[in-house]
């Protein structure tokens, strides 16, 4: 499932949905040093399918490596008013896979709504931020220049409760399928369509990618989860009954609890 996002760092976002690494594993004494600093993204991630999203911070080295499975290690300390993340270094995986990528990790945060001192440390460097968590957003602010870390985003819109997104990609001329599917959903269900503000990183990707036509993602809210499951089943059946080439024409429904339905399902 290839998707575009508002910026390159929307990771939870997917691989979203996505990578889960312990934030408390120090990794031993054989870790390699982090050169050229790190960048990070505030957002949410899922620990497993059919689960609620968890606020988190994704870390990535500015340095790229030949493998995409190198892991960063860090130590997390929290209080009711502060979050301190001490980066330790990275370890190259014994089995190399993928293309050139940074070393990375995700640190889940279980803090309640509020304002926190966010401290990111590595050796003698310490960058200080403020992290403001609310029902709808996670916001990063800073009073000092950072020395080792760089935030990729300063505002993240959290997954709205009882929401889902529909992604669509078709071959040229597939607009008839697009119109047919959404007209059918509109007739069958009482969902409320909404949009996100223009500023900030959104939890759902903006579109699919890799298709001849990649439509903008559409977002909906609902009152009854059973209607979402019913709509998901409808989308799967729509693929079987109406789409000849499901590799070139695809519709995906993704619920905020990480439940996914797609026309490519058999």
Domain with residue 173: its CATH number is 3.30.70
Q: Write down the pTM of the prediction.
A: 0.87
Q: How far apart are CA 15 and CA 13, in angstroms?
A: 6
Residue 12: what pLDDT? Answer: 42
Given 153, 173, 195, which residue is the final one in a domain?
Answer: 153
Q: Per residue of the chain (266 residues), what is the pLDDT tens digit?
A: 444 434 333 434 334 333 434 444 555 668 999 999 999 999 999 988 889 999 999 999 999 988 888 899 999 999 999 999 999 999 887 777 767 899 999 999 998 999 999 999 999 999 999 999 999 999 999 887 888 999 999 999 999 999 999 999 999 999 999 999 999 999 999 999 999 999 999 999 999 999 999 999 999 999 999 999 999 999 999 999 999 999 999 999 999 999 999 998 75
Q: Coil, strand or helix: which one is 122?
A: strand
Same-domain status, 28 and 61: yes
Tokens of 84: 């301190």
Same-domain status, 16 and 136: yes
Instruction: Give Cβ neighbours of residue 35 (< 8 Å, ≥ 6 apart).
Output: 61, 63
Any domain includes 81:
yes
Instruction: Compute how many other C-beta atoms are within 10 angstroms of the C-beta atom of residue 144.
Output: 9
The gap between the terminal CA atoms of the chain, to the nearest Å, is 16
Same-domain status, 143 and 169: no
The alpha carbon dihedral of 245, 207, 63, 28 has a sign of negative
The percentage of residues in the chain with a pLDDT greater than 70, rounded to a whole number, is 88
Domain span holding position 143: 3-153
Any domain includes 158:
no
Same-domain status, 145 and 179: no
Instruction: Compute how many other C-beta atoms are within 10 angstroms of the C-beta atom of residue 244.
Output: 7
Q: How far apart are CA 45 and CA 251, in angstroms?
A: 22
Number of domains in the chain: 2
Same-domain status, 12 and 105: yes
Residues of 62-80 as b/e, b for ≥16 C-beta within 10 angstroms? eeebebbbbbbbbbeeeee
Of how many residues is the chain composed? 266
Same-domain status, 18 and 83: yes
Same-domain status, 13 and 66: yes
């Amino acid at each position: 499932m290839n998707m575009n996002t508002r910026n390159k760092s929307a990771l939870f976002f997917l691989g979203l949905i996505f990578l889960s690494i312990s934030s408390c594993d120090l990794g031993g004494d054989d870790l390699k040093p982090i050169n050229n600093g790190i960048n990070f993204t505030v957002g949410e991630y899922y620990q497993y399918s059919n689960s609620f999203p968890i606020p988190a911070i994704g870390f990535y080295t500015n340095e790229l490596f030949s493998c995409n499975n190198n892991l960063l290690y860090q130590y997390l300390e929290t209080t009711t008013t502060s979050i301190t993340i001490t980066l330790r270094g990275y370890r190259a995986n014994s089995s190399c896979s993928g293309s050139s990528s940074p070393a990375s990790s995700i640190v889940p945060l279980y803090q309640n709504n509020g304002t926190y001192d966010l401290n990111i440390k590595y050796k003698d460097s310490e960058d200080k931020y403020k992290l403001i968590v609310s029902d709808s957003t996670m916001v990063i602010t800073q009073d000092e220049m950072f020395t080792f870390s760089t935030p990729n985003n300063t505002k993240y819109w959290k997954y709205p409760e009882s929401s889902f997104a529909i992604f669509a990609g078709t071959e040229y001329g597939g607009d008839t399928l697009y119109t047919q599917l959404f007209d059918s959903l509109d007739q069958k269900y009482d969902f409320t369509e909404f949009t996100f503000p223009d500023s900030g990183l959104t939890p759902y990707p903006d579109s699919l990618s890799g298709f001849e036509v990649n439509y903008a993602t559409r977002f909906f809210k609902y009152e009854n989860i059973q209607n979402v499951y019913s709509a998901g089943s409808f989308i799967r059946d729509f693929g079987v009954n109406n789409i000849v080439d499901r590799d070139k024409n695809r519709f995906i429904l993704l619920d905020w609890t990480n439940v996914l339905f797609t026309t490519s399902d058999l």
